[in-house]
Amino acid sequence: MKLLRFGPKGNEKPGLIDAKGVLRDLSAHLPDLTSAHLGRAALDKLASIDPAQLPAVEGPVRMAPIVADIGKMICVGLNYSDHAAESGMAVPAEPVLFTKATSAIIGCNDAVVLPRDSVKSDWEVELGVVIGTRARYVDEASALDYVAGYCVVNDLSEREYQLERGGQWDKGKGCDTFGPVGPWLVTADEVPDPQNLDMWLEVNGKRYQNGNTRTMVFTVAHLVSYISRFMTLNPGDVISTGTPPGVGLGQKPDPVYLRAGDRMALGIAGLGQQNQTVHAWNPELIDG
């Protein structure tokens, strides 16, 4: 299944995409798509619904964040060796973890707003892993059993804040609007091999990132198991698993960073596409 939330901020509804690509309204069956609907039994119940019996949604709509109550977003740094090289950093011996504030999370096509005085905001297409069952000290062999599904993430990053403002990556990763997710959550049964997904990102029509999840340093299963040793992963939590090379920081001879008016397009095979326009600092675009 392809599950999603749609509609204006504060009035989102749950939906799904049927086999013909039509958006269907699920709100007669559940009030919203929350963490409570991501376990195996709940997903099986949703899968038993005949999409043809659900109302079709006409016209363009806002695609909201895929789960209403994402509890935490754990990100993995330097998880592609070639991205580590372009960043001038060593491939880590263990996963590098940081968090992205939930206030950064937005719908996949919502406005990306640059922080005030930002000069080095950057892009990163990443595979998002959505937890469906509470995971604590799980072994790698069974780790994927705890995954509800997958999504596209743009792990936007303000590099000056991240690398030049006294350490701790979080301050450059958690800026408002710096966590677009979606357009939908593709359930795990439709992604038999999360380690073989093509991914890409363009800015203003220029392709900067081309990659595949098979080149991850640490696999999805390893990451779920590893992170569960340090914190409980709850339903609705999202793991953003790292980015392939081609970020703005790594461009030669000079880095390229986002400016107001830029347009980003990014996607992962089978998981959909995001499209965002970059705006100068404007709190009304964040809160509206």
Question: Which residue shows structure tokens 């990132």?
Answer: 209
Extended beta strands in the chain, E state: 2-6, 13-17, 23-25, 73-77, 96-100, 105-107, 112-113, 121-122, 125-131, 147-154, 157-158, 179-181, 185-187, 198-203, 206-212, 238-240, 263-268, 272-279
pLDDT at 197 over 90: yes
CA–CA separation, 125 and 179 (whole Å) = 11
pLDDT at 217 over 80: yes
- Tokens representing 168? 């701790």
Give me the pLDDT at residue 72, please: 98
CA angle 44/34/191 to nearest 5° reads 50
Residue 190 per-residue DSSP state = G
CA–CA separation, 88 and 72 (whole Å) = 28
Q: Report whether the peptide linkage leading into residue 194 is cis, meaning its omega lies within 30 degrees of zero.
A: no
pLDDT tens by residue, 249-275: 999 999 999 999 999 999 999 999 999
Banded model confidence at residue 227, pLDDT cuts 50, 70, 90: very high
Q: What's the whole-number average pLDDT of the chain? A: 96
Report the amino acid identity of residue 176: D
For the ranges 51-60, 162-171, 255-264, the lowest mean pLDDT is seen at: 162-171
* pTM higher than 0.75: yes
Yes or no: say if 267 and 183 are a contact pair by the CB < 8 Å rule: no
CA–CA separation, 116 and 283 (whole Å) = 10
pLDDT at 100 over 90: yes
Region 83-102: mean pLDDT is 89
* DSSP assignment of 135-172: BSS--GGGGGGGEEEEEEEE--EEHHHHHSSSS-THHH
Give me the pLDDT at residue 85, please: 82
For the ranges 60-74, 75-89, 137-151, 183-197, the lowest mean pLDDT is seen at: 75-89
pLDDT at 165 over 90: no
| Domain coordinates in residue numbering, the chain | 67-287
> What is the CATH superfamily name and number for domain 67-287?
Fumarylacetoacetase-like, C-terminal domain (3.90.850.10)
pLDDT at 168 over 80: no
